[in-house]
Amino acid sequence: MFPSVRPRRLRTTPTLRRMVRENHLHPEDLVSPIFVVPGSGFAREVSSMPGVFQLSVDKAVEEAREVWNLGIPSVILFGIPEQKDAGATGAWHDHGIVQEASAAIKAALPDLVVMADTCLCEYTNHGHCGVIGLSDTMGHVLNDPTLAILGKTAVAQARAGADVIAPSGMMDGMVRAIRTALDEAGFTDTPILSYAAKYASAYYGPFRDAAESTPQFGDRRTYQMDPANSREALKEIALDIAEGADMLMVKPALAYLDILHRVKAATHLPVAAYNVSGEYAMVKAGALKGWIDEERVVMETLMSMKRAGADLILTYHAKDAARWLGA
């Protein structure tokens, strides 16, 4: 009349639940994004991302120190240059904003892992992730000329002290081009974290406010992946592995947990998930309205990514999550 198998027996106390927990989230799993701008003493909150700021280099160092003191091992840097141009000069110049921030952060915190987002959209005056033809008003990025600039950018970032190069532009052959450029410049030990499966997602909206990278015309669907496709993600990761990627990323994370799971099953490389700006902003908006319990929703969301297979999670919730984990 009564069940002999009772799964609830292992849920009776908090300690017992912790003992049989299948997945665990730690501060070491997290990477905290930082948006860096020119100037000094500057911190401006991003209106669509409460709690996230554009920071001058000195403030970025302070932010990185706070991240490190919370037990988070890494930051990823996004730069907003003082001037933008068609050649994305600020991306590859030795005194580009990410290069300046990398050098300053590594000088202050040598053990912190600095990742550099290696893309051109923040640096071009049209907002696309590469070279555009002179008469193009649709946003068709010229793939191969863009590879040359990405290679120069990666070398400049590594020279400035970046520990990890993270190309996000979804150009065909970008990992091989960057690996070749790094090796030829003597940075054979600098790993590449490829945004291998990056979808053309509506979840990126707030990021474009933070990075000031909204395309001035057209969209990014000719180079970012179609959200309807999953097998294509496996093709993309296979190509990046063959080209020399050391780690792989799925972006966005929350609406693509199935992709994350499939990528993890298909490779032995470390896999990262990017808990993107739109996912962050929705949680923040709901929490500010009092509609949800922010801590529980954030931790459940991050655990879903860990459960799906993420070894690393890039998230704007990183500092809060680390505090909650340590509470």
Task: Give catalytic residue positions.
Answer: 198, 251
Note the pLDDT tens digit of each residue in 133-164: 877 777 788 999 999 999 999 999 999 999 99
Report pLDDT for 150: 97
d(CA 253, CA 312): 11
Note the pLDDT tens digit of each residue in 73-91: 999 999 999 999 989 999 9
Note the pLDDT tens digit of each residue in 198-228: 999 999 988 878 777 787 787 888 899 999 9
Note the pLDDT tens digit of each residue in 40-52: 999 999 999 999 9
Angle (deg, nearest 10), helices 294-308 and 277-288: 150
Q: Which of 19-23, 124-128, 216-220 has the lowest mean pLDDT?
A: 216-220
Report pLDDT for 123: 93
Q: pLDDT-based confidence at 299, cuts 50/70/90? A: very high
| Residue 122 or residue 207, greater confidence | 122
Kindly report the pTM of this predicted structure. Answer: 0.95
